Structure 1
């Protein structure tokens, strides 16, 4: 991201699959001379298709495309774009997932206009956005950095926990099923070492969701409107 001397007006993007928060931020920033909301989209990839010339993105945690906060923050980071999580704050597990990926911080959708402007401006200049809610989410996760999986182990975990078998995961990765089983042993041991056992495949799925490797399951809606 450019430093403060390089760009007088920071270019802001926003990802939210509900239009009303975008309208709200547009109104908040319309009279702020150094912040320009130049693009918005319902997905991160959709935003990047519009432009990659952004200083910071306000990112909603739960998106309809099923992507995780970790995936989205990481993708933006790969494009040298910082993120601020813009959330109602009711999903601390998703906040921690974003933290693992390196988001600059969070701001509540219920925050004052001044707080939102200050958060966007700070992140646009590459500074961390420190709020009480953000600190509480991080402090509430004693294992935030306790389990570090290599990219290969992450891939094995997500494929297997999503319903794959040792054979199908091996075919996907180009390795033997026995190699996949060895990878799974390493993954289980890493979780066991931090007191988060994974005795069953369901346990592996839960850990993958907790740590942001897989999206949270979305409740289905029946014809009569009941959620399950």
Structure 2
């Protein structure tokens, strides 16, 4: 990003593109599309955001698959890339609106279906590189389907309690992890439940808490059996 926090403009006029996907065939497809463009260059790909950043940090745009096998959430990945001044184009089959919502919360600029035409893909990359949002029908439908998108605002401490507890922890184990008493953890859980209740999203059980954590991008979706 530039000094005022806006998207950076490549001095060379060439947009440096990275790609994160743990399947090789989509990478080959994007590579084929970009190799014929004078203003776009695919400089690296990797199965995770961390591995891509180890290879190349001087990127302008990253094409990001939503569903990765490393346990990260779209929200985490988009935020990590943004911290490096890199904007994100989500590249997806469109099957998981909850993952789209997770990416949207973190500020992705574009959502492109893997079935989109070459022209649509190129337009989204160029628009994102210029700091423009590309609101597709799939993205709009995912957002519209979540009336409480920003209704629950958890502090970093409450987020941590939620993720640890919903992942199978107990009040005792969560307290040990955070350095607080079990009674304090229980008080945090009461606050979390109240916030979700106020938003019309009750969390009566531990499973409910797990579902809310996944819906809001605090935890990754469980991987399906292959």
TM-score by length of structure 2 reads 0.94
RMSD of equivalent CA atoms: 1.2
Equivalents in 2 of 1:198, 1:5: separation in Å?
Answer: 47
* Cα distance between partner residues in 1 of 2:12 and 2:211: 43
1:185 and 2:186 aligned: no
Q: CA deviation at 1:180?
A: 0.9
Gaps of 5+ in 1: 222-228
State the number of aligned residues. 221
Q: How far did 1:215 drift?
A: 0.9
Check if 1:173 corresponds to 2:186: no
Cα separation, 1, equivalents of 2:223 and 2:28: 26
2:189 corresponds to 1:206: no
Moved more, 92-101 or 2-11: 2-11
Q: Is the 8 A contact 2:10 2:60 kept in 1?
A: no
Residues 1-16 of structure 1 aligned to structure 2 (within 5 Å): 1=1, 3-4=8-9, 6-16=11-21
Aligned equivalent of 1:226: none
1:158 corresponds to: 163
Residue 66 (structure 1) shift:
1.6
Q: Which runs of 4+ in 1 moved over 2 A?
A: 1-7
The aligned runs of 1:78-227 (5 Å cut-off) are 78-220=83-225
Separation of aligned partners in 1, 2:140 and 2:49? 25
| Cα deviation 1:126-157 (Å, max 9, x = unaligned) | 21112222112111110111111111111000
- 1:29-75 deviation digits (Å, cap 9, x = unpaired): 11111111101000010101101111110000111112111111111
Q: What does residue 52 of structure 2 align with?
A: 47
The reply to whether residue 29 of structure 1 matches residue 61 of structure 2 is: no
Output the CA distance in 2 between the equivalents of 1:101 and 1:35. 24
Give TM-score scaled by structure 1 length. Answer: 0.94
